[in-house]
């Protein structure tokens, strides 16, 4: 049982480059989330998708876009990467919007030079 | 808005020592409370949770009690092991209008030395 799978695990970008972080879950969960983790700042919500076909902004959405491709997949896109986006990115899912426990992927470490 | 404040780290203990990591919260509604643990190189995983006042969550020797009167959810373990070395996050999930969005503390790094 794979759970939540994120790719890639590591990525280095130059300022201005674009890239997409991929996330897929095999637990038939309805809700999916993207967080970023910065030292001393905990996890901050970037975007979320309460159910297939819907997406909403979280706490820090600027500079990002998302796509809920289907029930399994939720991608995060950086159109023009900036050094301030250097972070560790986590995808998470939960069974329903009202279900409280989150399941996390293992993270993507992104450096923007 | 909602917020979670955790005891600052890092925390370094010897094996078999007693652990307390403090966590307090503010919330507009009546939240559920969680502790997540993150081992090196991995994502977060749920350690324990409590959904109402005076509930005690427990798992792997860790415990935390939901204290509504002091808005706290402190994590404790009576005897830590080297394998408990990790980052611990306190979190809340608001079951009101923001249901589904979790708020996390900054994390506390625990190192246990043999």
Q: Could you read off the pLDDT of B8-44 as tens digits, one per residue?
A: 889 999 999 999 999 999 988 888 999 999 998 888 9
Interface contact B106, partner A, CB < 8 A: yes
Q: What residue in A sits closest to B38 (Cα-Cα)? A: A106
Interface contact B31, partner A, CB < 8 A: no
pLDDT at residue A50 greater than cutoff 90: no
Q: A-chain residues within 8 Å CB-CB of B30?
A: none
Interface contact A19, partner B, CB < 8 A: no
pLDDT at residue B76, as a whole number = 98
pLDDT at residue B101, as a whole number = 76
Q: A-chain residues within 8 Å CB-CB of B102?
A: 45, 100, 102
Q: What is the pLDDT of residues A13-48, one digit of tens each?
A: 999 999 999 999 999 998 899 999 998 778 999 999
Residue of B103, B88, B56, B68 whose CA lies nearest to A100:
B103
Pairing of strands B86-93, B108-113: antiparallel
pLDDT at residue B99, as a whole number = 53
Burial class (CB within 10 angstroms; exposed 0-12, middle 13-18, buried 19+) of B98: middle
Tell me whether residues B44 and A31 touch, CB distance under 8 A: no
Interface contact B104, partner A, CB < 8 A: yes
pLDDT at residue A1 greater than cutoff 70: no
Tell me whether residues B95 and A40 touch, CB distance under 8 A: no
Residue of B16, B13, B51, B21 whose CA lies nearest to B37:
B21
Pairing of strands A108-112, A10-13: parallel
Which residue in the block uniquely carries the two structure tokens 């069974």?
Answer: A95
Q: What is the pLDDT of residues B70-110, one digit of tens each?
A: 999 999 999 999 999 999 999 998 765 555 678 899 999 99
Of B32, B43, B93, the CB nearest to A106: B43
In percent, the amount of chain B with pLDDT more than 70 equals 95
Chain centroid, CA A16 distance in Å: 19
User: Which pLDDT band holds residue A12 (cuts at 50, 70, 90)?
Assistant: very high
pLDDT at residue A92 greater than cutoff 70: yes
Measured between alpha carbons, how far is residue B59 from residues A21, A94, B70 in Å? 33, 20, 23
């Amino acid at each position: 049982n794979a759970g939540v799978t994120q790719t890639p695990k590591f990525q280095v970008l130059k300022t201005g480059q674009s890239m997409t972080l991929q996330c897929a879950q095999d637990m038939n969960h309805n809700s999916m989330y993207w967080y970023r983790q910065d030292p001393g700042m905990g996890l901050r919500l970037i975007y979320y998708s309460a159910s297939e076909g819907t997406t909403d902004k979280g706490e820090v959405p600027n500079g990002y876009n998302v796509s809920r491709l289907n029930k399994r997949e939720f991608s995060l896109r950086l159109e023009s990467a900036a050094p301030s986006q250097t972070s560790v990115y986590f995808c998470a899912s939960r069974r329903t919007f009202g279900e409280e426990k989150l399941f996390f992927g293992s993270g993507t470490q992104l450096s923007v030079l | 808005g909602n917020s979670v404040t955790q005891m600052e780290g890092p925390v370094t203990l010897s094996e078999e020592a007693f652990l307390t990591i403090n966590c307090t919260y503010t919330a507009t509604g009546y939240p559920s409370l969680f502790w997540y643990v993150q081992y090196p190189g991995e994502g977060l995983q749920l350690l324990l949770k409590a959904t109402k006042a005076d509930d005690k969550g427990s798992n792997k020797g860790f415990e935390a009690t939901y204290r509504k009167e002091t808005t706290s959810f402190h994590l404790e373990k009576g005897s830590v092991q080297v394998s408990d070395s990790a980052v611990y996050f306190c979190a809340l999930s608001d079951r009101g209008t923001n249901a589904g969005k979790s708020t996390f503390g900054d994390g506390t790094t625990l190192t246990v030395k043999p």
